[in-house]
Amino acid sequence: MDMGKIIPVLVIVFAAELALGNLLDNPGFEWELGPENWSVRWGNVGVESWNNPPEGHFAAYIKGKWGGGAENGGVIQVLPITPGLTYVLKVRLYVDNGWTANRKELKLEFFDDDGILVRSFADDLKELKEGKWVVISLQGNAPEDASRAQVVLEADGVGDEGVLGADAFELIEIVNKR
């Protein structure tokens, strides 16, 4: 091999992905819930320091009927998005003391400027384990007519006992670079 000749190597990357930081405010429920973060809350939802939250000192909990009598509970955060991008939602969830619900869901919903739901991605949370924090993820592309997203955790038909805990929410957008 002739070492006198150096052949430059050209590497071309045709496509790559770049993940931006967490888009959610107060993702670990460490400060007061308000209009700038978890603006919609209902039913037996509270913020507590139970069960060793994986992020910080607090987590949100949908309590059984013992926690207020309601048979439901949930939280929603609304935020602007960029149409056409991919979004990844992750959260850590925990159930204990026999918590049950007829319906429980984590959702990533996209709405247009008129407030019409244009696409939704959901997980029915069947993979939850008693006494263990479990990571649940959703991924979806925002439609071209979407202008905002909603991150939703909700339960209906909640039983008498236990809690469903939620902590360390993360919503990131994946930017395709070319």
CB burial of 96-105 (b: ≥16 within 10 Å; e: otherwise) equals: beebebeebb
Q: Tell me the C-alpha distance between 86 and 11, whole Å.
A: 26
- Answer whether residue 10 is part of any domain: no
* Each residue's pLDDT tens digit, 51-61: 899 999 999 99
pLDDT of residue 51: 87
Q: Is residue 152 part of a domain?
A: yes
Residue 118 domain-assigned (yes or no)? yes
Tell me whether residue 5 is in a domain: no
Question: Is 3 contained in some domain?
Answer: no
- pLDDT digits over 137-176, tens only? 999 999 999 999 999 999 999 999 999 999 999 999 998 7
CATH number at residue 66: 2.60.120.260
Render pLDDT for 87-129 as a digit per residue (tens, 0 to 9). Answer: 999 999 999 999 999 999 999 999 999 999 999 999 999 999 9
4 domain residue, yes or no: no
Closest to 109 in 3D by CA, of 144, 83, 84, 140: 140
Q: Per-residue pLDDT tens for 126-145?
A: 999 999 999 999 999 999 99
Q: Residue 169's domain spans which residues? A: 16-177
Please give the pLDDT value at position 13.
Answer: 38
Determine, yes or no, domain membership for 158.
yes
Spatial distance between the Cα atoms of 93 and 82, rounded to a whole number of angstroms = 27
Q: How many domains does the chain have?
A: 1
In a domain, 163, yes or no: yes
